[in-house]
Amino acid sequence: MLDLRHYNCLGEALRAAIDRWPNEICLIEADRDRENARLTYRQFKQAALPFARALQNAGFNRDSRAAIIMTNQSKWLISAYAIFYAGGVLVPLDYKLSAAEQLQLLAHSKAEVLIVEYHLWRAITQGETFSSLGTRLVLVTEAPAGASLAGAKRWENFHDSRLPIFVPRKRSDPACIVYSSGTGGRPKGCVLTHDNYLEQCRALTALFPFSPGTRYLSILPTNHAIDFMVGFIGPFTCGATVVHLRTLRPEYIREAFTRYKITYMTVVPMLLKTLERGLRQRFAELPGGRRRALRALIGINRAFTRRRPRLKLSRRLLGQVHKGFGGELRALFVGGAFTEPSTLQFFYDLGVPVGNGYGCTEAGTVITLNDFDPFRADTVGKPLPGIEVDILDPDEEGVGEVAVRGKTVMSHYLDDPEMTSETIVDGWLHTGDLGRVDKHGHVQLLGRKKNMIVTEEGKNVYPEDIEAAFEGLAVKEFCVFAANYLWPERTMVGEQLILVVHPEAKPQIEPATTPIPVQTEVAASESGEAASELSPSGSPDANPAPQSEQFTAQPDARHLLAPEMAAEIDARNRRLLNYKRVAGYLVWDSDFPRTASLKIKRIDLAQEIRTSRGRHHVVYL
């Protein structure tokens, strides 16, 4: 691998890698059983430099910003390298966001150039604000022959064979603007420097070295900070191979393992659980004798790998299982959200170590990672070399907010000094996560201090961003909170969003201090139909109501909205991407506390709700 201490910017490091391993395969792009591309580092360079030159011809230069909205594919990385070569700043945007959200982030980032896949471009052009974007060059990949591009250019035709000029950058210069979330009123554009990336890459590859011949299966979106690092910068600066899949269906992922003899892959907890379920099912279907033999072998493997992974031994003991993973898998990595220890242990016992990590975009990706020395299923590992972790204001159990300091912490939030100063205090990044550090230096996460949720797919969702979906609702006011922020829980699973609604008029049904009249019961049963149908016996957040309540299992009538209002909320909720939906609503019958400029005082409102309402008052949609 390259010694990254000697390089000042990503463009320089990538250029050195490309020249050092010209004949190694750097990139394979597969789609089902087809291969769309297989490039050596030399061919990668031959594709990227004419593109960089064409960008420069179009006036792209030092600090010019170029946004990419693409699924994982070769043109993503080719474009990114060209942007760095020309000294530009890359804005990787999430292809899974809605077109309206992408347009909002494009406007916020002030990207001059947009590189986008055809189907995503078509959606964006239908957005109301598309025509007012400041983007002066749009490059569309894979547009069908004969498609009208209305001023945009075809990526495939955008090249100039003359050599581009390499534009060097300093370590402190911005390399990327990565949106950690926040498509509502306040986008969070993390400005990450070349130093952030080079130091992060150095720390990660010291723990898990890549080399020529190592094959990394890239399935997390490349716009995500994790894949950008371990599915691009990391492997490329080590001469390794990245394999892209154009489809993420579990059966094709399984096939890719064996076809490409994958060495490493990073997943989100949801995919890991899917793999676990599939394996458990296959094990359960084995004939009795083979099932018992497998169980015994797993037990032997567990005993022999207690102190450290022993890949050769595990592959010999559990050959069939490892064959299913291609036979050369060294480790999986998981991050982005909470992973259950039982899942991590399941894979470890099979001889497939899963490096459980913790990080955030603001910290350049990874903060802690399990180094398997020894394997721990109950923690997110130890801080990476060069990263300091501190616990702020720890309680008697040592639990407090996790703070991080080091060279990988972002420079600032784009155009938001106020949020930057709230988040980075005296050089320490306040993560908003609650955790503790044990005597072995392992970090355990125990909940969240900030008003947000993280889905099993690793998506950060900020309640404020969801509020736009309910704008114009015929209520006096409303606000969205994370349930675990309102009612703190020591858990990282089952997080939900709650819509707090202050109805326009006083609820028709007066709060009942005496036995509830018959009329009220009827209203409750009618309006609460949806709630009672789905109200969540299985919901992890549904705490039983106190015994003193009139109706113990469900919120009573005074906490229900009129049926038409509930239906309107449900309809609007369904227009949101499924992971952004609120789980239920909570009726609140007094004015929200507000600042002089009429902004909701969220902290104060949360405190009021916390003291007078419980989870059992939530009406689930």
DSSP H or E run through 534: helix 529-534
The conformational region for residue 573 under phi > 0 = left, psi -120 to 50 = alpha, else beta, is alpha
Residues 575-601 as b or e (16 or more Cβ within 10 Å = b): ebeeebbbbbbbbbeeebeeeeeeebe
Of 43 and 223, the one with the shorter C-beta distance to another protein is: 223
Distance of closest approach, residue 557 Cβ to another protein, in angstroms: 25
Q: Give CA–CA dist 311/269, Å, rounded.
A: 23
Q: Give CA–CA dist 194/199, Å, rounded.
A: 8
- Give which of 84, 492, 56, 549 is closest to 269, Cα–Cα: 492
Of 23, 274, 320, 421, the one binding another protein by CB under 8 A: 274
Q: Are 320 and 387 in contact (CB under 8 A)?
A: no
Distance of closest approach, residue 33 Cβ to another protein, in angstroms: 12
Q: Give CA–CA dist 433/446, Å, rounded.
A: 8
Of 219 and 240, the one with the shorter C-beta distance to another protein is: 219
Of 19 and 251, the one with the shorter C-beta distance to another protein is: 251
Q: Which stretch binds another protein (CB under 8 A): 231-239, 248-256, 290-298, 317-325?
A: 248-256
Of 103 and 176, the one with the shorter C-beta distance to another protein is: 103
Report 524-583 residues binding another protein (CB under 8 A): 574, 577-578
Q: How many CA atoms lie within 13 A of 179 on its CB side?
A: 28
Of 249, 280, 291, 594, the one binding another protein by CB under 8 A: 249
Q: Are 616 and 586 in contact (CB under 8 A)?
A: no
Write the interaction track for another protein spanning residues 389-428; mark x where CB under 8 A is met and - where it is not: ----------------------------------------
Of 8, 98, 211, 539, the one binding another protein by CB under 8 A: 98
Beta-sheet pairing, 453-454 with 443-448: unpaired
Distance of closest approach, residue 274 Cβ to another protein, in angstroms: 5
Nearby residues of 235 by Cβ (< 8 Å), 6 or more positions away: 26, 210, 214, 216, 241, 242
Q: How many CB atoms lie within 10 A of CB 418?
A: 9
Q: Give CA–CA dist 433/435, Å, rounded.
A: 6
Q: Which stretch binds another protein (CB under 8 A): 91-99, 148-156, 350-358, 376-384?
A: 91-99
Q: Cis omega before residue 374 (within 30°)? A: yes
DSSP state of 489: -
Report 32-51 residues binding another protein (CB under 8 A): 32
- Residue 250 found at the interface with another protein (CB under 8 A): yes
366 three-state secondary structure: strand
Distance of closest approach, residue 463 Cβ to another protein, in angstroms: 20
Of 578 and 595, the one with the shorter C-beta distance to another protein is: 578
Distance of closest approach, residue 243 Cβ to another protein, in angstroms: 16
What is the rounded end-to-end Cα distance, in angstroms, of the chain?
Answer: 53
Of 163 and 577, the one with the shorter C-beta distance to another protein is: 577
DSSP H or E run through 445: strand 443-448
Distance of closest approach, residue 533 Cβ to another protein, in angstroms: 11
Q: Partners of 181 in the beta sheet?
A: 188
Burial (CB count within 10 angstroms: exposed 0-12, middle 13-18, buried 19+), residue 42: middle
DSSP H or E run through 368: strand 365-369
Report 110-149 residues binding another protein (CB under 8 A): 119-120
Of 16, 270, 391, 530, the one binding another protein by CB under 8 A: 270
- Residue 457 found at the interface with another protein (CB under 8 A): yes
- Residue 334 found at the interface with another protein (CB under 8 A): no
Of 43, 64, 71, 535, the one binding another protein by CB under 8 A: 71
Of 414 and 497, the one with the shorter C-beta distance to another protein is: 497
Q: Which stretch binds another protein (CB under 8 A): 197-205, 244-252, 321-329, 407-415?
A: 244-252
- Give the count of residues interacting with another protein (CB under 8 A): 21
Of 34 and 439, the one with the shorter C-beta distance to another protein is: 34
Of 96 and 171, the one with the shorter C-beta distance to another protein is: 96
Residue ranges binding another protein (CB under 8 A): 32, 71, 95-96, 98, 119-120, 246-251, 270-271, 274, 456-457, 574, 577-578
